[in-house]
Amino acid sequence: MRSAWLTLVAAALAYAAAPSFRGCENKVKDSLHGVPQGWVQQAPAPQDQLIQLKIALAQPSAHELEKHIVEASDPAHERYGQFLSKEEAHELMAPEQGSVDIVREWLATHGLGEEHLYNSAAGDMVTIRVPVAVAESMLDTKFHVYTHAASGDSAIRTTAYSLPELLHDHVSFVQPTTMYARFKPMRSTMHFAGGVKATLAAGSVKSAAGQDVDASCNDEITLSCLQQLYNFGDYKPSTNTTLAVTGYLEEYANNADFQQFLGDDSANFTTTLVNGGKNDQDPSAAGGEANLDVQYAFGVAQPLAGTFYSTAGTPPFTPDKNEPTNGNEPYIDWLDFVLNQTSLPSVISTSYGDDEQTVPVDYAQRVCQGFQTLGSRGVSVTFSSGDSGVGDGSSDPSSTTCIANNGTNAIKFLPAFPASCPYVTTVGATQNVPEVAASFSGGGFSNIFARPSYQDDAVSAFLTGLGDTYAGLYNASGRAYPDVSAQGVNFDIVLGGSHTGVSGTSCSSPAFAGVVALVNDARVAAGKATLGFLNPLLYGAGAGAFNDITSGNNPGCGTEGFSAGTGWDPVTGLGTPDFDKLKTVALDN
């Protein structure tokens, strides 16, 4: 295999340009102002190191996808709830044949034939595995090994790449090249390790909605606490509605822990392996993130069937093996897989992300479009909002970690991605009873995506009250998040056979997703479609179905961050769900 790739290197470096590319100059396709903060350039990448690259082809019908989801998610539109099939979605995702042909011709000039290409189900993405030397020739760049100082993670990246000018209208991006995102779990802390649990208070306290809730829920959150807080304890699902959570970075969900958590030896969930993913059931391999997600998403929605998607990939890279490096851009692989399925879950929760500015704009837009496509097929997509408040989680005025990577080195709030995508429902965190904002709850305004119309009234009201506070630190016209919130502190989970506590918006997203699955079940039982993309309903008729959280803030970037208040805010969104009210709204629309 090694000699075959070295032969390819020689062929690629000595190719004669195909007629279409003769005299065609290279033009920069993407570039950074410098090495992103926190990353350090090391040695040049080994020339024979294999790397995996994804070439995204232009999608001329993407605007039709957007039109469809706007109509299908608007309760006032006649097409509300009319979702696309897999085939219909693929047709709108597909590139023009001319784009396919010119990209194949370009790849052939570098010694890459059909046997070297993997095409996505819709044909809009081509994946190649090539030695660094070939990639450098193709992209007119130099790759280096970069190390992330805080985590020790390494990656092969560049700060700029070029393509023949002829390709620019046909290729949206080639990644990971200029992408420095690490896509980490949105989990802030773990404690109670070794099975040592907190001393639980007795008696009851009042929730924000005035309901009696066990006082112990101020010490740790359990399924019973969520049932009491969010008013779904008496609901009994009656359909085959399903839900799912995603797992990355070799986070494995342990079934024995799941059964112990629920106290039910017959409890189970389905594991679907994506792109070579695994789900090691050795107790020592159980992942805190994965266990948290399945135990609370599927626990809230029990007995609805749950699926755990395990997508391959590990964050570190050791540049001494002749095998493909981990691209650490798992969303494209996962989206390609799931969008090629005929039947999909009614709701999918993900608790991973990173700073938006570490993600190239074109990549972020394509991934967000993938979530948009899921919504157009009837899937509600939820994401954790992040655990760093408005940036780095620090209110210390001397904090200098929130630096814009646009060349100005200005202090800026740092929004998270995919939390900032306007086609997902982003979930922030609360704590205590009655609920207040958790200080780590991620929230803010996108620098990539414009504010969607469904948010205009709610966000404009917040901005009017904010006035000039933090002017220049955030993009007031950007997509605002979170959309909603749920408890996110001291969740009791089972990990490796022992109880431990977990905090973070990683807790909030699966908990909220479980509630949405129950609402979808009620709609299906009534002969209606699942909700699909949630936000237009939530910001409209559904706004009154949430417990408004009016206390707390989310510090970061040397500030106290935004403050929770009456109505929507970029700490807790619209608030936490009242299942009974949300079900009523969903059935009335």
Would you tell me how many other CB atoms lie within 10 Å of the CB of residue 209?
18
DSSP string, 483-528: SEEEE-S-EEEEETTEEEEEESHHHHHHHHHHHHHHHHHHHHHTTP
Cβ-in-10-Å burial (0-12, 13-18, 19+) of 48 comes to middle
Query: Is 548 assigned a ligand-binding role in the annotation?
Result: yes
Clarify whether 214 is annotated catalytic: no
Clarify whether 506 is annotated catalytic: yes
Helix axes 288-301, 255-262, angle to 10 degrees: 50
- Rounded to 5°, the CA angle 317-364-180 comes to 30
Specify whether the CB–CB gap between 180 and 350 falls below 8 A.
no
Q: Of 519, 540, 546, which Cα lies nearest the Cα of 530?
A: 519
Q: Of 233, 238, 457, 241, which Cα lies nearest the Cα of 344?
A: 241
Of 154, 216, 506, 508, catalytic: 506
- Long-range contacts of range 218-222, CB-CB < 8 Å, 24 or more positions apart? 218/432, 218/433, 219/490, 220/192, 220/490, 220/491, 220/492, 220/501, 221/487, 221/489, 221/490, 221/491, 221/492, 221/507, 222/492
Of 153, 251, 293, 578, catalytic: 293
* Phi, psi torsion values for 362, nearest 5 degrees: -65, -35
- At residue 455, the 3 state secondary structure works out as helix
Query: Is 332 assigned a ligand-binding role in the annotation?
Result: no
Specify whether the CB–CB gap between 499 and 197 falls below 8 A.
yes
- Rounded to 5°, the CA angle 64-30-178 comes to 105
Query: Is 569 assigned a ligand-binding role in the annotation?
Result: yes
Q: Of 216, 208, 205, which Cα lies nearest the Cα of 572?
A: 208
Cβ-in-10-Å burial (0-12, 13-18, 19+) of 410 comes to exposed
Specify whether the CB–CB gap between 549 and 564 falls below 8 A.
yes
27: β partners: 163
Judge if the upstream peptide bond of residue 95 is cis by omega within 30 degrees of 0.
Answer: no
Specify whether the CB–CB gap between 56 and 366 falls below 8 A.
yes
- Which amino acid, one-letter code, is at 421? C
Query: Is 280 assigned a ligand-binding role in the annotation?
Result: no
Specify whether the CB–CB gap between 419 and 355 falls below 8 A.
no
Clarify whether 441 is annotated catalytic: no
> Containing H/E element for 291?
helix 288-301
Of 289, 336, 362, 521, catalytic: 289
Q: Of 400, 402, 398, 406, which Cα lies nearest the Cα of 389?
A: 402
Q: Which residues are catalytic?
A: 289, 293, 506
Binding site per annotation, positions for Ca(2+)? 548-549, 567, 569
